[in-house]
Every structure is written in structure tokens, then in C-alpha cells.
Amino acid sequence: MSAAYDPIALGIQWDRLIAIADEIINALVRTSFSTNVRESYDLSCVVFDRKGRSIAQGAYSVPSFTGTAPATLACMLAKFPAETLQPGDVVATNDPWMGTGHLFDVNVMQPVFRRGALVGYTMSITHLPDIGGAGFSATAREVYEEGLRLPIIKLARAGVVDEAWIELVRINVRVPEQTIGDLMANVSCTTVGARMLVEFMDEYGIDDLTPLADAILGHSERAIRDELRRIPAGIYDNAIDIEGHADPLRLACRITIADGEAHADFAGSSLAVPAAINVPLCYTRAMTCHAIKCLTTPKIPNNEGSVRPITAVAPAGSILNPQPPSPTGGRHIVGHFVNPLVYGALARALPDRVQGDSGMLNLINVQGRTREGVGVSSIFFTSGGFGALRGIDGQATTPAPSNMTGTPIEVWENLTGMFVESKELLPDSGGPGEFRGGLGQRIALINDSGQPMTVSCLAGRTEFAPAGVLGGRPGGMRKIAINGSPVHPKGRYVLQPGDRIDTIEAGGGGYGDPRQRKREAVEADLRQGFVTPDAARRDYGYRG
Amino acid sequence: MTRAQRYRIGVDIGGTFTDFALFDDATGDITTHKLLTTPGDPSTAVIAGVSAVTAEAGIAIADVATIVHGTTLVTNAVIERRGAPTAMLVTKGFRDTLDIGMERRYDLFDLRIRFPEPLVPRHLRFEVPERVKYDGSVKAAPSFDQLRMPLAEAIARDRIAAVAVCFLHSYLDPSHERAAVAWLTREFPQLKVSASSEVFPFMREFERWTTTCMNAYVQPVVDRYVARLEDGLAALGFKGSFLIMTSSGGTFTGGLARRFPVRLLESGPAAGALMSARHGRTLGVDQVLSFDMGGTTAKGCIVHDGTPLKRYELEVARVHEFKRGSGLPVKIPVLDMIEIGAGGGSLADVDERGVLRVGPRSAGANPGPACYGQGGTQATLTDANLVLGYLDSGSFLGGRMALDAEAARRAIESGVGKALGVSVERAAWGIHEVINEDVARAFRVHASERGVDYRRCSMIAFGGSGPLHAARVARKLKIPRVVCPTGAGVMSAFGLLSSPVGFELVRSRRVSLARLDAQQILREFTGLAAEADRFLAEAGVKAVDVAHRHRLDMRYEGQGYEVEVPVVGPLDATIRERLPHAFAQAYAKVFGLAFDDKPVEIVNWKVDASGPEPGARHDHRLKAGPPSASSRKGTRRAYFPERDGPVDCPVLDRYALEPGATVAGPALVEERESTTVVDPGDTMRVDAHLNLILELGAAS
């Protein structure tokens, strides 16, 4: 079917659609009020065709969101069928099971009309600064404690915003100005996207995006199927232990590769827990697609075609497919382990592609007031080390598998009145290997606001270190302490004035046997202080 | 007019040639000269050329008032890592900020992304116990003496020649950094020292410190370069002022260049944008889209009311597939140019998706396009333009280089045509058109981010490939008119010579508008202006000649991105009442709407101080060459999609075209470095300054 599309026009128009998605992100970031969006790019923007198929996404966005967006749109259209939509309608939800897996992300969609006909949809998703309830933490036992849950709603009808919904959100959140500001930034950026999509169709005289979408999805699907066929057909199993809220959890997967398709079954994983780290299936599926795409076709732009040959299932009620009212606020803490779980399963089949485990993100969520009395609800994004790959040492302090941006110290102190005493690399935290894992870091934050602040971390890697791959060794573990005493990494605490929280962010896992590491590489690490002399001797057999 | 004020020389150092243009402000005559660039030490060609061009004009070097030049020295030193071993003094606890970086991946799916190594390696960063807090209060005073020994050792061991001083919140209170500079100057007078509060006092430590380290890193290189030029020119008898173009389009004296060399990044391309600005003014066009396309990249810049737009960030030395995010982020005032990986050498192939891709990879000068016959086998844009008939095998670069059309066809056939199942001509047109689309898309995004309606612009196109693609790009943007100025090398010198000595200061100081009165605003601006004026005074500009432009970066409280608000009207007690409206206007211009109820804050304060516009006249002309018998060189088959294939098309000699001449497309106008393509339905005329003006017909 895609053969019918002019091959030269296809490339040009495809890139143009991606540019439109990027433009939507620009508009979103520039009008947003919260650090989550503007500094950390905790967002995504997607363009869909008339049939609800995702055809382009912005380059700077969180991978999980683009994986969930098509399913979210399908839920929205089930409630508000396409034929009932009018220009200027805005549909939104933050339901964990229909959206991105937790209440914090709002999904905002607008239908796009051209000459009176529905031609496509634009959607943007952002992590709101607050949604009420327990705050951004893993402590809730049921979803009801986690905050305001919006079903699929019409936020605006024919261009008129329904103020009742705005009021409802305003009264339920701690920082209403920022939250409403961000909500409306989503509305205006999807409007911008709709306008650009129409201009694009006008320019090329396209009345129906379907043939173009067919061609884009067809090319993408063919590319990933070709790559999947290069993996020897077979069944690939893996299981890893990770920390849970109370007891360790087991994540298991069986990946079946056959006929250019990949099917992941997460049977054997632990049951859902009464803590907000359960991963709705939409998120599990999104991370599975992301992991397999990283290993096979990283350069194919993300769209529905590029994930079509990938399927994922998990038993209902398991931690990777929990049912309401299981709480899900910190679903990424467990969900991000889907990537290393999949990489581990495929390590022997794809030794050139797989990566040692990464140290992953830590999200330090802080609520309180500044010395000047301004309300604060902000997240300090920070990252552990990136896992090593064949030929490449892991980059220090680089997020994986999700993407964020670290918060600058000067910005954070201005915003919260907290004092950052230090933020430095942790030598020897990178997992030894022929290629070394990326270093983690050590951060010290002090409550200097003169009043109590609530702090909750959302992180893993405190009981099970990031594993190495193909002979590589594990990276250093994460540790969190308040006033010198270790605390649970998913807890919620009050910092009194002058109290301090110290975190150690995990290092990345190594790749290959450390004894095979080149002598010059070990010496360069010693000179820079990334590896200490003791560790060089112990891990690399370096004798000076 | 005394002889000593009469002559000015512009020097444009390009990748291949260094162009010299001597302007006589009394007669309006221009004398030009061209030399091969001396990449090892660019000053060699500069000195030789200045000598040659003055001899050619029959004047003494002592009569030249000003020599201005643009240089890629700083950019190249960073890309090739040829700067000096540099150390860093940094706030205790933050030695690793340069390694920690942005904590962001610039690609969601590519696990093999790379990041640039910091310019200062970790073992050359020294921590200083000191701390200024976010509100400007001092938590700990600095002490330095414990650094004497380790620093002395590092100087001996690592041959450190420069130091960057980088403390947290120094944009608010520079006193600790100043103390460090004083201590370093006393203890180690041989070192070049750069302080972050002086280089660019902007909030966000990673970017500010990276900028400061880069300044320190290139300081010794620039110092030597400027010294060689100044000494060399003095030895020839030059007594005037020697100026260097900055990235923001002003000029620096040698002294300022030595102190703030990071501000010379992109100094070469800035001249092109300034030339477009100058043309815009001459032609009476208030919005210009400057389009410069050469061998590896295309550059664009929007000129509004005669002034190119500015911005304050730049990414240098990208290390992974030219991707945004894979370079070093720098904060300096720069002309707001976009760079697109599209030029004559852009390589064409079929990408992972199975669709045609052109650029950003380039065949460069070596091996170059397949048609150069230097061993290149991959198809490039130049190969496509040759196959399409826009370029000629015999007249490329004025006939100095014969092009191999068969090699071009073979490369396109094997690399693109077969894979896509299309003919060689169709594939060549695809390559040409993909580039047009890439450039148009980049301009569209660039313009809309700045709230500029590009459809109202005129395009000024230059560079080796600019006039060849200009009409098609303009048509995609619904721009009605394209100007291809005469003699690009000379015109760049035009840009250099029309720009005043200037220095811009930007300081972060976040204050809620509600907490400010007019006096406080005026005090802040006056302080900044006084500081900038000091730099200009050092450069020899008289206080009475200095003009100031004031701008503020403002936003709604809680927002992360600011909107630049020009402060127009008098700097007096009414300024406080005028600001909210000025902000709302600027905000609505970018975002389409403004809120009246949200509190507003000021984030950055900017004062741009500049000296008088140089030169007495702007109507200079090249001395007329010998008249030529006919402007018609012949005809050639060239491909135009609206004619469904190649048609016979007249080829004109640009140097023989007289003012007032008009031509209806299709036509090709050849000059030494470029060819202007006039599409079917468009008309071209030659104006009094010998510029080619294309009026685009209805979309074809």
C-alpha cells in the first residue's frame, strides 16, 4: 500500500509531521509554569491521523508517554465518538489505566478539523506539579489516596472551556496557579498543533492523511520487522529481583521472537502491592516497546507502525498489570525495570546492542514554603549513571530508560529556598567492565527555608545494584539518608529547618570482563579520579 | 575629510579564500583582493592581503583608518580542541558540575549517544570553600591560600596557561570571584583568568561555567593571534584601529577580544547576516530573511527593521551525528542564526526508514562531491544540481574546476535512484527538493518561534549554493521577492565595515515587578550601562558617542522561559508604569495571548552599548570592469518540474548584466562562485547596485 506513495514526497512530508510535533512541544514548554515541564521535559506531544493512529511524536519527550498515547486516544474516542466531536472540543483525562499509568499525567487531546471534516488529532501529555492527595510519593495504599482522578472529560466544548472542571482541579491541588497554568498550556499547544496540521495539509493539497499515514506506518513497521527477523527465532527468558515497598519483588519475562514479531509475557512476576509502585499494563506495554525499539530500530521515528509487531501481556492483578484500586503514583519506579529485564533476556542474542543496567532516576519531591512564604511543590530530578555498551563507557549521571533533565542548582535554590551543599560524582560507582558503567553521584540538600518541608523520594536500586552485562560487574547502589540515618527510598518525610537529606545515586553496570579493559582507559580513569587506585587494582588487576 | 579617515578595509577569512575589500569613503570606490586562506596561521594571509590591496589601490597603509575582520579561529580551536590547558576554581561541592552536565539524553532511543568531554578535565578543577546563597547573602567567605601548592604543581605538570573562576550565584554577587581573580593575578601573574560573573553573569551554573571555561580555554590562543596581527600590521605601518567581528554583530578591539574571546564564536557568519541587514536598509525592506548556503551548511537569520535578531545561547562542537544536545552549550550574545546541515557537499542516501535523506553529513572539500573527480562516490547536492543542469561542467568556479557529469549520474543512480526505483533525473530533483524543504522547514520554525511572519520578508540569498536554491525555498515560504547581491566576498566585508564597536552586558537578577519602583529599575540599568561604557572607553570610544539599548527578560512568576521586552521611550520615572504593558505586548507577540491577572517578574537585565556607526557613506561600488560584448553565454538543458523535464534555458553572464536588464524565467545566471536559478514564471531584474532581484510569479 505504501508503494503507491511517491517516495520523495513521503520523506519530505514525514519529516514535516515530526517537525509539527516538535513545534507543539516548543509551544508547550514555553507556556508552561512548572519545572516538571519547562526544565525536565516530563512531557510528550503526538500527532494522529483520522483513524487515531499515531504518526509523529516530538523528539524531546518521555518514551513511555508516546507508547501510551494511542491507547489513551482510543479510550477517549470510545467515550466521545469521533462523529460527535466538534472543532474546539478538548478532551482530557488523568486516569492511570487509560492514560499513562498515574494520576499526575494529564492527557489533553483536540480533534483537528479542516473544511469542516475531522482529519486527525493532536495530543499533549504533561506531568502536573500537583494533583492533590498523597503528593508525588509511593506511600498511598489505594488510588483514592493519591489525589484527584479525572475520568475522560470534555474540558472544552466548541472552544468554550468548562469552568466547572477548572474549579474542581483548582480546589483539589496545592499549587493551583501552576497546575491550572500547565493544564491550559496543554490546551493551547494542541491548538497550535491543530493549526499547523491544517496548514501542512493545505500546502501539499492533502485532503486525507490516510495514504500518507499508511506509507509512514508501513515503512516503520517494515523496518522493525526486518530487524526483528535478524534476531534468532526463539524463546528468551529472564527474571530479576528488585526492591519493592516492603519485600523484594520479582519481575519475570518470556520474550518470543518469531516471524518478525516480538511478544513479551510477564507471567511469573510478583503480585500487585499496597504501595504506589504498581505498573498499569499501558505503562508496561509502553516500556516493552521502548526497550525493543532501542535494541532494534533506534533511528526509526516513533509511531504506531514502529511498535505494531510488539505485544505485551501480564497476568491481571500482577505488579505489571494491577487493577483498581491499586495505587500507581510511583509506577515508573518498577516500570523502568522493564527495560533492563528485556535487555537481559536478549543479551546473548544481541551482544552488540544491549546495555548494562543503568542507575536510573531519582525524583526528590519537595513541598513546603520558601522563606518568603511562597508555596513550593517541586521535583528535583537527578540521575544515576548510564549503563555501558560494547565500545562505550556509560555516561555519568544520565537518565534511563526514561528521559528527564537535571535541575540546575541555582534554579532549584531560587525556586525552593533549599540549600544544596554539594553535588558531585561518586568515584568507583561505575560498574567495572571492559567498558565501565557511568558514575553515579552524591547530593546533599538542606532545608534552609526556616519552616518544615515534606520530602518524598521515588527511586529504586537501594537493595539490588544495577547489573553488569556479558561479564560486566554491577554499579554502586543508591542510598538515601536523613540527618545521617538511612531511610526507605520510597518514603515520605518531614524535614525540619536545618535538616539534611543525603542521596547517593546509583552507578551504571559495566559491559564485558573488566580484565579486558584497555590499560590506557584504566589510567585515564585514575587520572580523572573516576576510579580509585584500590579499585583499579581490585577490579581491573591494574599494577601501575 | 582627511586621508587618515578615508580608507577602511574589511577582511573575510573563509575556508578557502580570504577576501579583502578596501573602501574609499571619499569616492565610494571599492578595491578588492583575494588570497588563499592560510589555515595554519590565518594572520599570514591577512597581513599579506592588506599589503596587496593597499598597493593595488595606490595608497599607503598609514592612510587606512580601520581594518575589520571576521574569524573562525575560536570555533575551530574548540572543535579541534587546540585551546590551552586550562584549570578551574569552583565552589566547594560542585567540582563535577561539568561532568554531571544536563542529566539529559538528547535522543530517546539511541543508546549509543555521545557527549562532549568537558574542556577542563576533572583533575584540573580545584574547589574553593566559599558560598553565596540564592538571595545574595554570603554563607561562607572564600579562602585561597591552600590552593597555592596544588595549583603551582598543576601549572608545572600540565602547563596550565589559563584559569576559569566559577562560583555559584556569582551573577548576584561577584565579590568572591573577584577575590579569586585578584589572588590568582597576584600569585600567578602569567595565567590568563576568566571569571563567570564577568564572562556572562547568567543564572544556570552548567551553561555559565561551560562558557567561562571556553573563554579561558581559547584566551591564550586568541592572545597570540591578536598579538601577531597587531604587530604584523604595525610593522607594515598601520596606525588605525584594528577590530574583530563578534558573534553578536558588534566589533571588538584587540583588547576586548583578548579578554572575552568566547564572544568571537561564529564571528565569520555574523558578517553575512550584517550584510543582509545593510542591504535591507539600502533596499528599504523592513523584514529580511538572510539565507547563506555554502559547501557544508546553510545559515539563516531574520533581520527586523535593519537589525538582525539576537539570542543568548549557542551550541558548539557537536559530537554525535550533528544532533542538537550533543555539543557544548554556551551563553553569549549571538546573532540569532540557525544553522542547517545543508550545503553543496551534503550527502544523499536512503535512510533507515527507506526514504531519501540529504545531509547533515557532508562530503566536505575532500573527497567532495562525486563530480569533483577526487574519489568521492556518494551522491551529493552538487551532483544533483549538475545533473539537473543548474550547474555546468565547464564553468564551475569560473571554469577553474571541471565537473564530471557522468560520475554525478552514476553516484545518484547507485546511491538513490535504484533504492527508490526512480530515474536519475527524478532522484536528482528529489535531492534538490529535500534540501529546499529542509531549509524552508528550519526557517519556518525559526520565524514562528520568534513571532515573525516570514511571508512578509524579502529573502537575501548568497553563498555558493544560496542563489541556486533561493527561489524554491522562498516559494515554499510564500516570500515574494529574492535578492542575490553582487560579489559575496565583498559584501561580507560590507557587513564587517558597517558594524560599530559594541559591548552587551546581561545580568540575571530575578525580582518581582511588584517589589520594584522606578528608581530601583533605573539604578540597575545605570549600573550596567556604566560597566559596559567602561569597556567601550577602553576601546577608545568617546562617552558622548555611546548609545544604549535596554532590554529585560520577563515572565509570569513561576514560568520557566522569559520573553525579551525592549525598553523603549525615556528612562525616567514613568518606566515602572510602562513595563507591564510592554511585557504583555511582547508576550502576546510570541504566544498569541497574555494574562492580565498573573504577577510578572524580571529575570535578566540587558544593556547593549555601542559606539557610532562607522564610515561616512554606504553607497560604495566596485569599480566597473571592462564592458563585455554580450551577457548571453549560450543555452543549456535544465530540469524544471513544471515543464515535466529538461528544457533549453538561456545562460547569462552576471558580470555582463547592466542595471535595468530584465529576464523571464527559466534562466540561469552564472558568476564565479555561484549560479542564480530563475524558475519558469519568475522574472529577474538587475538593480542600480547590480543586485539581482527575483520577483516570484504565482506558485508553479
Domain extent listing, chain A: 2-220, 355-544
Of the candidates A39, A181, A528, the beta carbon closest to that of B121 is on A528
From the list A114, A36, A118, A14, the residue with the least C-alpha distance to A365 is: A36
From the list A433, A480, A255, the residue with the least C-alpha distance to A345 is: A255
Q: What is the pLDDT of residue A2?
A: 41
The answer to whether B565 touches B583, Cβ cutoff 8 Å, is yes
Q: Which fold has domain B3-77+224-264?
A: Nucleotidyltransferase; domain 5 (3.30.420)
In whole angstroms, what is the distance from residue A230 CA to residue A106 CA? Answer: 38
From the list A514, A510, A298, A294, the residue with the least C-alpha distance to A394 is: A510
For A2-220, CATH gives: 3.30.450
Of the candidates A302, A404, A421, the beta carbon closest to that of B104 is on A404
Q: What is the pLDDT of residue A23?
A: 83
pTM: 0.89
pLDDT band at A112 (very low <50, low <70, confident <90, very high): very high
Q: What is the pLDDT of residue B415?
A: 92
Assess B515–A contact: CB distance below 8 Å, yes or no: no
In whole angstroms, what is the distance from residue A362 CA to residue A375 CA? Answer: 22
Across the A:B interface, residue pairs with CB atoms under 8 Å apart total 208
Which ranges in chain B are annotated with CATH 3.40.1360? 83-103+123-219
From the list A361, A383, A394, A395, the residue with the least C-alpha distance to A469 is: A394
Cis omega (within 30 of 0) on the bond before B666? yes
Of the candidates A290, A383, A389, the beta carbon closest to that of B103 is on A383
Structure-model confidence comparison of residues A488 and B471, the more confident one: B471
The listed range with the strongest mean pLDDT (A60-74, A78-92, B396-410) is: A78-92
Tell me if B168 and A12 make a contact (CB, 8 A cut-off). no
Q: Which residues of chain B have pLDDT under 70?
A: 1-4, 15-16, 365, 451, 488-491, 560, 590-593, 616-620, 622-629, 698-700
Residue B159's Cβ-count burial label (10 Å; 0-12, 13-18, 19+) is exposed
Q: Which residues of A touch B110 (CB under 8 A)?
A: 294, 298-299
- Looking at residue A109, its amino acid is M
Tell me if A38 and B561 make a contact (CB, 8 A cut-off). yes
Of the candidates A27, A398, A408, the beta carbon closest to that of B206 is on A408
From the list B149, B141, B166, B140, the residue with the least C-alpha distance to B87 is: B166
In whole angstroms, what is the distance from residue B362 CA to residue B396 CA? Answer: 19
In whole angstroms, what is the distance from residue B209 CA to residue B171 CA? Answer: 11
Q: Which residues of A touch B112 (CB under 8 A)?
A: 298, 389, 391-392
Non-local CB neighbours of A516 within 8 Å, separated by 6+ positions: A434
Assess B92–A contact: CB distance below 8 Å, yes or no: yes
Q: pLDDT at residue A147 above 80?
A: yes
Q: Which residues of A touch B510 (CB under 8 A)?
A: 414
Q: Pick from B130, B353, B477 the residue to mutate for testing the A interface (most A CBs within 10 Å).
A: B353
Helix (H) or strand (E) holding A220: helix A210-230
In the block, cell 547507485 appears at B414
A39-62, pLDDT tens digit by residue? 566 788 999 999 999 999 987 777
End-to-end CA distance of chain A: 63
Q: What is the 3-state secondary structure (H, E, C) of B415-433?
A: HHHHHHCCCHHHHHHHHHH
**Nearest chain A Cα distance for residue B593, angstroms:** 10
Length reported for chain B: 700
Q: What is the pLDDT of residue B569?
A: 86
Sign of torsion, CA B480 B486 B488 B490? negative
The answer to whether B469 touches B494, Cβ cutoff 8 Å, is no
Class of domain B83-103+123-219: alpha beta
Mean pLDDT value of segment A480-486: 95
Q: Work out the percent of chain A whose per-residue pLDDT is above 70.
A: 97
Of the candidates B102, B111, B438, the beta carbon closest to that of A355 is on B111
Non-local CB neighbours of B489 within 8 Å, separated by 6+ positions: B12, B14, B17, B19, B21, B32, B34, B673
Tell me if A399 and B204 make a contact (CB, 8 A cut-off). no
Sign of torsion, CA B165 B168 B170 B174? negative
Which ranges in chain B are annotated with CATH 3.30.1490? 502-610
ipTM for the predicted complex comes to: 0.89
- Looking at residue A80, its amino acid is F
Tell me if B104 and A403 make a contact (CB, 8 A cut-off). yes
The residues pairing with A238 across neighbouring beta strands, listed in sequence order, are A253
What Cα–Cα distance (Å) separates residue B91 from each residue in A241, B54, B175? 40, 52, 13
A494-536, pLDDT tens digit by residue? 999 999 999 999 999 999 999 999 999 999 999 999 999 999 9
Angle at CA A281, nearest 5°, toward A278 and A285?
Answer: 120
B186-208, pLDDT tens digit by residue? 999 999 999 999 999 999 999 99
Tell me if A7 and B421 make a contact (CB, 8 A cut-off). yes
In the block, cell 543564572 appears at B203
A251-266, pLDDT tens digit by residue? 999 999 999 999 999 9
Q: Which residues of B touch A414 (CB under 8 A)?
A: 134, 203, 510
A337-349, pLDDT tens digit by residue? 999 999 999 998 9
Tell me if A406 and B590 make a contact (CB, 8 A cut-off). no
For A444, nearest residue in chain B (alpha carbons) = B93
Tell me if B99 and A425 make a contact (CB, 8 A cut-off). yes
Mean pLDDT value of segment A131-159: 92
Residue B44's Cβ-count burial label (10 Å; 0-12, 13-18, 19+) is middle
Which ranges in chain B are annotated with CATH 3.30.420.40? 3-77+224-264
Q: pLDDT at residue A319 above 90?
A: yes
**Nearest chain A Cα distance for residue B684, angstroms:** 25
Enter the C-alpha cell of residue B468. Answer: 541556486
Q: What is the pLDDT of residue B699?
A: 46
What kind of architecture, by CATH, is found in domain B502-610?
A: 2-Layer Sandwich (3.30)
Q: What is the pLDDT of residue B339?
A: 85
Helix (H) or strand (E) holding B329: strand B328-330
DSSP SS3 for B200: coil
Assess B352–A contact: CB distance below 8 Å, yes or no: yes
